[in-house]
Structure 1
Amino acid sequence: MKKLQLSIQHSRKLTLFLAITIFFSIHCGSRATSESGDFGQAPDFTLQDTNGRDLTLSDFNGKVVLLDFWATWCPPCRKEVPHFKALHNKYGDQDFEIVGVAVDDERKVKKYVEKEGIPFNIVIADRTTANKYNIRAFPTTFLLDKKGTIKYKWIGYRPQEVFEEAIQKMLKD
């Protein structure tokens, strides 16, 4: 009887593991899309950063903001981190900010931020914020103009040049 219970538990765990793996392989950067235009005002939020301080998106009005929804378990998300670090270093002294919105466990995010030496703002998402932005895949990245209007939306991994071209254009406006 005990062997049967262990076998059933093992089977359930394996099924859950496979379902999660399939979900993430489908939803983690596999459907790369890119859109530009006027998508309306970015929904405002106040979330805690990795140091426990509140960060409010509208506080960055007057700056171009790259808003990236990501997770530590997402390989394309991790692949973009060096791009964002370079962009932060290059444009951070101009009217430009990066806000990474981690849709992940807070402890894992803190550990990852420390390990990678991420210099830009990282906040921990809540379900409401992810829903307001209709996040269905990772990474999903938005570029906001100085008035807080979403002008670009990228789903899936992008090389640094894609972001940089859009940032340069927005900083000139």
Structure 2
Amino acid sequence: MKFKKLAFLTILSILLFGGCDSKDGIDSSAVAKKSQKAPEFNLITTNQEQILVKVVDDKWVFQGLENKVILLNFFATWCPPCKAEIPHLISLKNKYPQFEVVAVLVEQDKSNDEINSFIAEHNINYPVTNSNMNFILADAVGGVSTIPTMFLFDSEGTPYQKYVGMVPEEMLASDIQKATITKE
């Protein structure tokens, strides 16, 4: 009986804290180099709004979101860990006014209507982007082959942390607080 319980808990932790994976690894050291090849990204949300992202001197500038801690969340609608982390991201966005999530869909051929239904179903309160530019951005950060993969940028646009798989809300909250740079 103890073995069954241990096996169940092991499988559950892999599902909750793992990610949906393709077989390629992620080269996080390539983030700076690759972003210089395409230093500007025009992300389009499902509401047809634009989020312009520029890389200038190793700083990431998210136009309209300046001075905020930004979490780029690469996800897919079919990924169980991606769905499981949504309530935590909503909670963090509500808790920290200086924090913004930008969800980057890495799924082919999803209509905005389909994604907007997903957004409504999960009560998502942050922008979700859906365009071919998402894949160029995924390549620019070093490649994304496991989802969810998230990149946290401090309030000055410096890459602060990379997460692969589902991350506990408390860990993200701690990093958001540390990544908030107050100017005196």
Decide: shared fold, TM above 0.5: yes
Which of 76, 79, 86 aligns to 1:81? It is 86
- Supply the distance in 1 between the matched residues of 2:47 and 2:22 (Cα, whole angstroms): 32
TM-score, structure 2 normalization: 0.68
Structure with max Cα Rg = 1
- Supply the distance in 1 between the matched residues of 2:158 and 2:146 (Cα, whole angstroms): 21
Letter aligned with residue 123 of structure 1: T
Once the two structures are superposed, residues 11-42 of structure 1 have per-residue CA deviations (whole angstroms, 9 ceiling, x without a partner) of: xxxxxxxxxxxxxxx960699xxxx9xx6597
Confirm whether residue 28 of structure 1 aligns to residue 37 of structure 2.
Answer: no
Confirm whether residue 118 of structure 1 aligns to residue 118 of structure 2.
Answer: no
1:1-173 equivalences under 5 Å are: 28=20, 40=32, 44-57=40-53, 58-59=62-63, 60-91=65-96, 93=97, 95-104=98-107, 105-106=110-111, 107-126=113-132, 127-133=135-141, 134-173=143-182
Once the two structures are superposed, residues 150-170 of structure 1 have per-residue CA deviations (whole angstroms, 9 ceiling, x without a partner) of: 110001111111111100111
Tell whether the 8 Å contact from 2:22 to 2:145 is kept in structure 1 after alignment. Answer: no
Of Structure 1 and Structure 2, which has the larger fraction of its residues in helix? 1
TM-score, structure 1 normalization: 0.71
SS of the residue 1:62 aligns to? coil
Give 1:108 shift: 3.0
When the two chains are superposed, the root-mean-square deviation of aligned CA atoms in Å is 2.8
Q: Which moved more, 1:104-113 or 1:114-123?
A: 104-113
Give 1:44 shift: 4.2
Q: Cα–Cα, structure 1 residues 125 and 69, in superposed 2: closer, same or farther, change >3 Å?
A: farther
Letter aligned with residue 155 of structure 1: V
Query: Is there any run of 5+ residues in structure 2 with no aligned partner, and where?
Result: 1-17, 54-61
Q: What is the number of equivalent residue pairs in this alignment?
A: 142
Identity %: 34
Query: Is there any run of 5+ residues in structure 1 with no aligned partner, and where?
Result: 1-25
Give 1:61 shift: 2.9
